[in-house]
Amino acid sequence: EAGCSFCGACVDVCPTGALSEKTRKWAGIPDEYVPSTCPFCSLGCPVNIIVKDNRVIGSQPVGQPGNNHLCVKGRFSITELVNHPSRLTQPTIFMENKPLAIDWQEAISKITEKLSSCPPENFGMIISANATNEDLYIAQKFTRCVMKSHQITTSGRFHYGESFFTLMDLMKDSLPLSAIDTAYTILCLGLETRYALSVIESHLNTARNNGANILSICTDRHNLSEHADIWIQTLPEKDEEVFQKLLNLLSEEYESSDLNHREFLAKSQISQLRNVARKLMDTKNPIIIIGPKYLRLPNTSNILKLINSIAQEANAGIIILPAHNNIYGSFMMGAHPEVLPGGLTANQKQHLDEFKTHWGHSLPDYHENDGWENIQTEHKLDVLYLIGENNKTYPKSNEFIIFQHMFPPSEINAVDMLLPITAFTETDGSYLNYEGRVLASNAAVNSLESAMPSWKILCMVAEKMGAEGFNFNSVEEIQHEISMCVPGFQINNQVSKPSLTLFKDKSSKTFTAGKGKKNGKKTWRFVLTTHLSDQTYHGFPISNYVEGLQVLYPEEMLCINPDDAETMGISPGDQVLVTSPNFAKIWPAWLDIRQQPGTLSVSLDHLNAVPPTIAPAEIKKVHVQTD
């Protein structure tokens, strides 16, 4: 209620010790502080891992207390996640649906047997966009050199869909966060800085204290609603039209341009949009910050292109903040069918020949049917190899599923082999943050029992299959090879960012629906926005392992404006049937004044996602019988 973001700064600066962390209240004096990088979002904040007796007991921001910050995830979630009792510790194979613990030698032999008889077109690998650069690089090299296939992709590709390459194109020009501090006009688009992005909030406060104008365009009431100089609240399905009109105002004369579009902007908002255009054009080097909310819509690709045009027209810098911490790294490491390391296209023979020279392996030609769509549910594979990804999203019909992860799968009987991997606190590595900077992640404690880094497991399999070029003994050796393939790849350096204009994405379309609007012959009272949870790590909600986050991020709950709930006779916690043209679902009600009247929203684990992202809807309270 007080607007706290749970960044933990008060604990750091408390002079009496009255404030403390529950997870390490009785842990005693730490043995050491190991510098690393937080892996929970694309900011890549520096973090000190606090260690005692070879165990992670906490995490803190790097620097003097109160001068640097972490969000609630980086500050309070690491300890519980990496020490969770459900961690996988032993290779396991399932025989007649019964788990049998085996040693690594037997596990590698079994995997080799399956992969050796698997045709390239029937192999698929999906690796988490939270994986390190080294894991991603070895994974795609394994797929191309050992399995002779381009069928590798990441969870981020499924998350961003057709807008993936548009997102990559904008990320190559992202500015550092320090640019916010000295900006005079900052336009925030779909940006909620409470909790997960509270680090951004501290930069905005610095800018505001320096006299900056903070402008916000967002569908729902959010923490900037009360503090921004201008907040324009849009209808869920009308964001694209609003951005188009803003672009028109910038490219024409914002004082005289006709902007009589009352169907999606109120009269006061028309004046506000003119004001936004005026501030963007009259300020030197303004900044546009794109939050995760505008990166998960069915028309995200169109929206990003409009935002890019707005930035060019206003000569504004861009900061774009995807949820996945290493989505840009997955691209630069080549962990997608169309892309080779360094961002080179896989469909050009000269690029394939370059990597044949690098790796000493002939690479398969790239074909259109090698696309990431073929690794999805409708395509049965002989072997599906999941690294840091959950299995429930993918079909049981696949012949053999290898599940390489920190935690057990959602459906334990839907996989054939479990391989335990190390947590980020137990192995060295690196990530590329949202601006393309290479950031080091350092091992702070020893591996948990038999767990190994993903890159090491893949190298063991490759060598067992007789493949050369996988005899790496350390992360440093892998980084050296990456630097030979990816220009400028060095820890803490900016990597080369090639243009992605070679890739084309399909235009997305939205429908028009809303309170009192008609869709076909039916009148729908509400517009429902469903979105995938951004608060995930390696395919699972972080709240699965960090109890406190369940309160901050209520998933699988239908968010309703209190006035709408009262009209419909719905109270908090009531079971609500949501009917839409393509589905009917029951979710418990969550009342929130920040939810715009006439709209609904629900945050879903990607395992339970329902299409489309924006849909017309009706709701009614239902009585669910329980045993």
DSSP 102-115: --HHHHHHHHHHHH
Nearest to 562 by CA among 574, 552, 579, 554: 574
Q: For residue 218, what are its two tokens?
A: 């967002």
Containing H/E element for 274? helix 267-282
Containing H/E element for 98? strand 98-101
Residue 254 has pLDDT above 60, yes or no: no
SS3 602: strand
Confidence of residue 149 (pLDDT cuts 50, 70, 90): very high
The per-type count for the chain, helices as H runs and strands as E runs, is: 18, 29
Confidence of residue 179 (pLDDT cuts 50, 70, 90): very high
pLDDT value of residue 560: 92
Confidence of residue 373 (pLDDT cuts 50, 70, 90): low
Residue 502 has pLDDT above 50, yes or no: no
Q: Average pLDDT, stretch 175-183? A: 92
Whole-number Å distance between alpha carbons of 195 and 204: 14
pLDDT value of residue 517: 43
Nearest to 84 by CA among 458, 555, 417, 538: 538
Among the ranges given (9-13, 16-20, 258-262, 611-615), the one the predictor scored with the smallest mean pLDDT: 258-262
Residue 330 has pLDDT above 70, yes or no: yes
Question: Does residue 352 contact residue 367 with C-beta atoms inside 8 Å?
Answer: no
pLDDT value of residue 255: 54
Q: Average pLDDT, stretch 209-233? A: 87
Whole-number Å distance between alpha carbons of 489 and 349: 24
Whole-number Å distance between alpha carbons of 296 and 531: 7
Whole-number Å distance between alpha carbons of 73 and 548: 10
Containing H/E element for 605? none
Does the predicted TM-score (pTM) go above 0.85?
yes
Q: Average pLDDT, stretch 118-141? A: 94
Nearest to 201 by CA among 214, 220, 184, 218: 214
Residue 214 has pLDDT above 80, yes or no: yes
Q: For residue 383, what are its two tokens?
A: 């072997």
Whole-number Å distance between alpha carbons of 463 and 466: 5
The segment with the largest mean pLDDT, out of 561-570, 593-602, 613-622, is: 561-570
pLDDT value of residue 516: 44
pLDDT value of residue 529: 83
pLDDT value of residue 461: 97
CA atoms 242, 246, 251, 255: torsion sign: positive
Confidence of residue 501 (pLDDT cuts 50, 70, 90): very low
Q: For residue 73, what are its two tokens?
A: 């995830």
Decide: residue 486, CB within 10 A, 0-12 exposed, 13-18 middle, 19+ buried. buried
Q: Average pLDDT, stretch 257-268? A: 58
Confidence of residue 216 (pLDDT cuts 50, 70, 90): very high
Q: What is the pLDDT of residues 385-434, one digit of tens each?
A: 999 988 666 666 678 999 999 999 988 778 899 999 999 999 999 999 99
The mean pLDDT value of the chain amounts to 86
Q: What is the pLDDT of residues 461-484, one digit of tens each?
A: 999 999 999 999 999 999 999 999
Q: What is the pLDDT of residues 54-85, one digit of tens each?
A: 999 999 999 866 667 899 999 999 999 999 99
Confidence of residue 504 (pLDDT cuts 50, 70, 90): very low
Residue 131 has pLDDT above 90, yes or no: yes
Higher model confidence: residue 554 or residue 573? Answer: 573
pLDDT value of residue 32: 95
Confidence of residue 212 (pLDDT cuts 50, 70, 90): very high
Residue 627 has pLDDT above 60, yes or no: no
pLDDT value of residue 609: 65
pLDDT value of residue 263: 57
pLDDT value of residue 623: 77
Q: For residue 301, what are its two tokens?
A: 């690709």
Among the ranges given (33-42, 134-143, 401-410, 521-530), the one the predictor scored with the smallest mean pLDDT: 521-530
| Residue partners of 116: CB distance under 8 A and separation at least 6 | 465
